[in-house]
């Protein structure tokens, strides 16, 4: 598990997503992805998941357009005020959460069909936990995309490896109805790194993502 990062001048009080002030998310880093390995997976679902996800991809296409517009507006808000508007931040967290569920379903580590929703739903086996930064350095809007490049490159490699593991998981589910722990963990880490990369790139998080491999599910 990642060590608790050292705060920086821009890292003021953090507030958990969902509206109410709460304790920081478990794990120390303000963006966490948790995933629960199912005891058994539906044997033949991997054959049709890509087909079932078509409506999701269509919906996410239009939601993604709205997200880009939101990021564009938030860029100027952060640049001039040093604050990410809470409503916009919550919306983008919801978009990340929805996309995360879809990706997890596509990569076979969950049989729970993604909800057409920005909110967390009961029964989700893959969840996103994020903390709202009360202050975001004005300069982050200008350079966050540049600073994240080294991490994003590594994240892309891990996601590519996770895709290969998902291919092997296809066969383990077909023949055993299970995903070996090693494959599951690689896929989960791919989702973690990809999500954290997106949060930092869009200046939704002010702490640089750790270059650390998480072993826990």
- Give a yes or no: residue 154 inside a domain: yes
**Structural domain of 163:** 14-201
- Give a yes or no: residue 9 inside a domain: no
> So what's the pLDDT on residue 25?
55
Mean pLDDT over each residue of the chain, to the nearest integer: 89
Q: pLDDT tens for residues 84-131? A: 999 999 999 999 999 999 999 999 999 999 999 999 998 999 999 999
Long-range contacts of 181-184 (CB under 8 A, 24+ apart): 181/37, 184/35, 184/37, 184/109, 184/217
- Give a yes or no: residue 211 inside a domain: no
Distance, first Cα to last Cα, the chain: 10
- Give a yes or no: residue 8 inside a domain: no
Would you place residue 15 in the very low, low, confident or very high pLDDT band (cuts 50, 70, 90)?
very low
- Give a yes or no: residue 208 inside a domain: no
> So what's the pLDDT on residue 217?
47
The residues that bridge with 16 in the sheet, in sequence order, are 131
Q: pLDDT tens for residues 123-140? A: 999 999 999 999 999 999
- Give a yes or no: residue 70 inside a domain: yes
pLDDT tops 60 at residue 4 = no
Average pLDDT over residues 163-167: 97
pLDDT tops 90 at residue 158 = yes
Q: List the structure tokens of 209.
A: 């993502």
Q: Please identify which residue in the block is written with the tokens 């995903």.
A: 179
- Give a yes or no: residue 36 inside a domain: yes
Count of domains in the chain?
1
């Amino acid at each position: 598990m990642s060590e608790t990062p050292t705060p920086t001048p821009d890292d003021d009080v953090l507030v958990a997503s969902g509206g109410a002030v709460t304790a920081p998310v478990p794990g120390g880093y303000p963006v966490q992805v948790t995933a629960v390995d199912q005891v058994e997976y539906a044997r033949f679902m991997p054959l049709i998941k890509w087909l079932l996800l078509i409506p999701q991809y269509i919906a996410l296409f239009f939601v993604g357009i709205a997200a880009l517009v939101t990021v564009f507006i938030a860029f100027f808000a952060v640049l001039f005020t040093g604050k990410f508007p809470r409503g916009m931040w919550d919306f983008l967290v919801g978009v990340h959460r929805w996309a995360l569920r879809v990706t997890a379903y596509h990569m076979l580590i969950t049989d729970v069909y993604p909800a057409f929703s920005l909110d967390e739903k009961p029964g989700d086996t893959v969840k996103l936990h994020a903390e709202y930064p009360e202050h975001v350095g004005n300069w982050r809007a200008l350079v966050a995309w540049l600073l994240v490049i080294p991490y994003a490159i590594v994240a892309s490699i891990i996601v590519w490896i996770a895709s290969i593991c998902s291919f092997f998981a296809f066969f383990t589910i077909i023949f055993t109805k299970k995903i070996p722990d090693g494959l599951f963990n690689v896929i989960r880490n791919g989702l973690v790194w990809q999500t954290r990369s997106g949060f930092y790139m869009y200046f939704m998080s002010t702490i640089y993502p750790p270059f650390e491999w998480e072993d826990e599910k």
